[in-house]
Structure 1
Amino acid sequence: MSARRAYVVGLTGGIAAGKTAVARRFEALGVPVHDADVAARVVVEPGSEGLAAIVETFGTGVLDDRGRVDRAAMRRRVFADATAKRQLENIIHPRVRTWLRDRALAETAPYCLLAIPLLAENIAHYCWLDRILLVDVPESVQLERLISRDGIDRALAERMLAQQASRAERLALADDIIDNSSSEAALDAHVEALHRRYLALASTL
C-alpha cells in the first residue's frame, strides 16, 4: 500500500492580481503554501547550479555586488529581449518545478498550495496538480495595481502584462476562481469556503 500524499492545489493569477493576499489567508488557516517565487530565488542562490548557468549565459554583469542576481537589471533585460527571457526561463523553470514537486511530495498536511504565477504558461509541466485555483481581477485593475506596487511606468507595466498568458487563458484552466476585485471580507469568505472544500477533497485520496 502506497503512502498517503497531500492533495495539491495550484494557486495562480496574473501579476498584481492578489495571489499573495490569498496565500496568506490560507496560511493563517494552517495550510502549507510553497511559493514558486521563493523557489526561483533559492535555485539561483550563490553556489548553486542555477546561478552558474545564469552567469554562463548572461555574464557577470547581471550580478550585484554580493554576487547575487541583480533582479531589477535582469527584469529590464528580459522584458526588452524575448530571446533573453526564454534563456532565463530555461534555466530557472525546470529547477523551480523540481523544488515545488519535492515539497508537495514531502508534505504531511491534508492539502497544500503551490503558488505558481506562470502556471498557465507552463501548464504542460504541472499535469500532476490535483486542482487549480485562480485569483482573478480585470486587466485594468492589474495594470493600476502593478504601476502602484512596483513604481514603474505604464509602458513597462503594459509590456509585462502582454508577456503573460491572457486572462481568458487563465480562466479556461481554473477549477476554482476567486474574484479579488472586491472587499477583504469577501476574500476571507472565499478562502474559508475553499478551505472546507479542499479538506473534503483531500479526505477522498
Structure 2
Amino acid sequence: MFKIGLTGGIGSGKSSVARWLAEWGAAVIDTDDVAHSLTAPGGAAIDGIRAHFGAQAIAADGAMDRAWMRERVFAAPEVRRELEAILHPLIGRETEAQATAATGLYLVYVVPLLVESGRWRNRVDRICVVDCDPPTQVARVVLRSGLTEDTIRRIMAAQASRDDRLAAADDVIDNGGDVTTAQLKTRVQALHDRWCADARG
C-alpha cells in the first residue's frame, strides 16, 4: 500500500488534515492515539510505567498521570528516554498490527515526532508536513488545551525545528494563521487526489 508520513508541530493542524483524509478513504493510523490507548486505564504500558516510575506516575483513574509525567520529562531528558523505552516498542508493535490490517486508498501514518525519530524515511513513500508559524501554534494550543504559553513553548522546544521539518518534507501544507479552514481543505484535497493517483501507479 502507498504510504504517507504526516507530521507537523503541535498546533499545526495535522489532526484536521488526517480527519479529512480518513473521510475521503485513506487508512489513517495516529501514533498519538496509539500512545493514548497504551497509557489509558488498563493500557498495555501502565504496568511498565508503574514499575519504573512508581505509583505516583499513575492517576486515580488508572491512566498515566500526564501532568505529572510532563513535568518530569521536561525537567530531565533522561526521564523522556526512560518513558520512550517503555512506550516506543509497544507503539511500534501496535502501529504495525494496525497497518497490516488497514484497508483504504492509501495509508497515512500520523507521527508528531516523525522527523525527530529518524526512523520513518525508509518506511513511507512520502513525508508531508503541515506547516505553521510558531506564534500561531502557541495561540491555537492555548485556545484548545488550557496549557500555559510557557508549557507550550517547552513542548515546541522538544520537537524538531520548523526548518528541520520542512527540510524533510516531500509535500508541505501551509496552515499559517491567515489560512481559512476552506483554504486548508482545498489544499489537502489537492494532495489527496495526487496521492490517490500515485497509489494507483
After TM superposition, the score normalised by the length of structure 1 is: 0.90
TM superposition outliers: structure 1 runs of 4+ over 6 Å: none
- The equivalent of 1:24 in structure 2 is 19
Q: 1:195 aligns with which of 192, 196, 201?
A: 192
- The equivalent of 1:80 in structure 2 is 75
Q: SS state of the match for residue 53, structure 1?
A: helix
Q: CA deviation at 1:151?
A: 1.6
Q: CA deviation at 1:47?
A: 4.8
Q: Could you tell me how far apart the structure 2 residues matched to 1:48 and 1:156 are?
A: 26
Does residue 55 (structure 1) correspond to residue 50 (structure 2)? The answer is: yes
Q: Could you tell me how far apart the structure 1 residues matched to 2:114 and 2:65 are?
A: 24
Cα-Cα RMSD: 1.7
Q: 2:131 aligns with which of 126, 132, 136?
A: 136
Deviation by residue 1:40-59 (Cα, 9 ceiling, x = unmatched):
02233455552222112110
Q: Could you tell me how far apart the structure 1 residues matched to 2:100 and 2:15 are?
A: 22
Q: SS state of the match for residue 113, structure 1?
A: strand
Q: Could you tell me how far apart the structure 1 residues matched to 2:31 and 2:53 are?
A: 22
Q: How does 1:118-197 map to 2 (within 5 A)?
A: 118-125=113-120, 127-181=122-176, 182-197=179-194
1:8·1:104 contact (CA, 8 Å) conserved in 2?
Answer: no
2:74·2:154 contact (CA, 8 Å) conserved in 1?
Answer: yes
Deviation by residue 1:62-89 (Cα, 9 ceiling, x = unmatched):
1111222112222222122211111111
Structure 1 portions without partners, runs of 5+ = 1-5
Q: Could you tell me how far apart the structure 1 residues matched to 2:151 and 2:43 are?
A: 30
Give the % identical residues: 39
Q: SS state of the match for residue 124, structure 1?
A: coil
Q: 1:39 aligns with which of 22, 27, 34?
A: 34
Read off the aligned partner of 1:183 and give its amino acid letter. Answer: T
- The equivalent of 1:3 in structure 2 is none
Read off the aligned partner of 1:194 and give its amino acid letter. Answer: L
* Matched pairs, number: 199
Read off the aligned partner of 1:10 and give its amino acid letter. Answer: G
Does residue 108 (structure 1) correspond to residue 103 (structure 2)? The answer is: yes
> Which piece of structure 1 moves more, 166-175 or 39-48?
39-48
Q: CA deviation at 1:126?
A: 5.3
Q: Could you say if the C-alpha distance between residues 7 and 125 of structure 1 is closer, same or farther in structure 2, counting changes exceeding 3 Å?
A: closer
